[in-house]
Structure 1
Amino acid sequence: MLRGLATISLWADDLEAAKDWYAELLGVAPYFSVPGPGGRAAYYEFRVGDYEHELGLIDARFRPGGPAAAPGGAPGGVIAYWHVDDLEAAVARLLAMGAREHEKPTERGEGTGFATASVTDPFGNVLGVMTNPHYLEVLAKAAPV
């Protein structure tokens, strides 16, 4: 039923600032945008990572249900985790860019190689990062021979 990650959507009151922040974080400009009412952008989309997953930034005016109650939405909401090769370095970079710690780096099972952390970006979204051996196994299988 679920075939793969299609798009992660994040919301921002200041969409232009969010676009610039994520462009700096990712090292690429958005490849797609949609104009909104009054001519200002309503949506920016980036291609991210080995499989070019989509990260969409949406003007908070269009958030379903209005403003979020807490970072990342209602308490208990979903956090999408992106694989990183060096968790400590990724978290340090995010914090240096103005994100706030949401969950400190945490090992998930001793010796398993899984570890997670999350930050709240300057726009109120929770961004998860993790080291994930399964991701690396899938990546290795997909690599050309």
Structure 2
Amino acid sequence: MLKGLRTIVYHVSDLTKAKEWYKTVFEIAPYFDEPFYVGYNIGGFELGLDPDTSGYTSGNASITYWGVDDIEACFKRFEALGIQIHQAPKNVGGAIWVASIYDPFGNVIGLIENPEFTS
């Protein structure tokens, strides 16, 4: 069911400042740049910046996303198992969908359906 790691998203309070910092540090411009999300392709993996910091504290501001073929089916399975929901599936642009759950220890586990990644 899981296809491997795809994306890390950092929740940042100042998107403009964060974009400049990541552009400088990683020496790459974003491939996706919107007010609600900025994405960089780094070696075939995505580093994302999300300006929505609600629900996150300093030091707890990132989610690693596991690639899936069908996020709705995956999410329904996790719901059936009684897993606590962090974020229900939502479209984040184009055909890309994300959702996240909590593990029993409070860690957030992300799921992403992104047709740009085929394996």
State the TM-score, normalized to the length of structure 2: 0.48
State the TM-score, normalized to the length of structure 1: 0.41
Q: Which has the higher strand share?
A: 2
Higher relative contact order (CA 8 A, sep 6+): 2
Q: Which has the higher helix share?
A: 1
